[in-house]
A and B are shown apart, each in its own frame.
Chain A
């Protein structure tokens, strides 16, 4: 555990958490992630297109019912500050054959996304925490679960 890539909290604004979203398909879900990132001022409107382009080129499904939509290399100028958003889809979204119940949208400048992905992956590798994230119905719960040191007790 001493060698974790970083322990800074994920840049998650409580306003960027939706615990009961619904989406008809992948594109709909990705668009909603882009819209939320834009709402909190992290990206401009063109970032959503870059997220869609990335998703068409390769699925951002990572396992544990979680997808991590993010832009392409060429979209970095569309990012104003690093941010993540969390959209929970209790009914699930068919993600190219996988069932996704949580989307973590990621916006980062430079190589910042690598740290964010690493933090997030470390959290999701704990099956209990991943399950708790899929089941979380409160914004505070989501924020707590995504803290790097949120292992205290999350039930």
Chain B
């Protein structure tokens, strides 16, 4: 199954705003995507609770996996999101 591993770039890790942006983007993909940390259990990338169970902090390497039509595009789009600091991008006026 196609996979892509990327380190979480968001300062606060994969929760709150970064997690929400990620989960919503995952839901828009044509192919279902799952996400895991190392050899751990993969969870659906479009589930907020699932993503929160990962406990992925800043710098944690996560692996995305997807199968079927649109899988490569989905992996590329979501890996790109994870490699950006989504806290910085969305934080209006937060010092």
Bound: A124/B43 CA distance, A: 14
Interface: B84 (CB within 8 A): no
Interface residues of A (CB under 8 A from B): 3, 5-6, 53-54, 57-60, 62-64, 70, 72-74, 111, 113-115, 117-118, 120-122, 124-125
In the complex, which of the residues A60, A70, A72, A118 contacts B54, with contact meaning CB atoms closer than 8 Å? Answer: A118
* Closest B residue by C-beta to A64: B49
A-B Cβ contacts below 8 A, count = 63
- Give the chain A neighbours of B20 by CB distance below 8 A: 58-59
**How many residues on chain B are close to A (CB under 8 Å)?**
28
Evaluate contact between A74 and B94: CB separation under 8 angstroms: yes
Evaluate contact between B17 and A58: CB separation under 8 angstroms: yes
Interface: B52 (CB within 8 A): yes
Evaluate contact between A115 and B48: CB separation under 8 angstroms: no
Interface residues of B (CB under 8 A from A): 11-13, 15-17, 20, 38-41, 47-50, 52-58, 87, 90-92, 94-95
Evaluate contact between B40 and A121: CB separation under 8 angstroms: no
Evaluate contact between A125 and B13: CB separation under 8 angstroms: no
In the complex, which of the residues A59, A73, A121 contacts B53, with contact meaning CB atoms closer than 8 Å? Answer: A121
Task: Report whether over half of chain B's contact residues are helix, strand or loop; otherwise say mixed.
Answer: loop
Evaluate contact between B16 and A58: CB separation under 8 angstroms: yes
Evaluate contact between B48 and A54: CB separation under 8 angstroms: no
**Known A-B contacts A5-B53, A121-B50; A73 and B15 likewise in contact (beta carbons under 8 Å):** no
* Closest A residue by C-beta to B15: A117
- Give the chain A neighbours of B38 by CB distance below 8 A: 3
In the complex, which of the residues B11, B49, B57 contacts A63, with contact meaning CB atoms closer than 8 Å? Answer: B49
- Give the chain A neighbours of B12 by CB distance below 8 A: 73
- Give the chain A neighbours of B58 by CB distance below 8 A: 111
- Give the chain B neighbours of A53 by CB distance below 8 A: 94
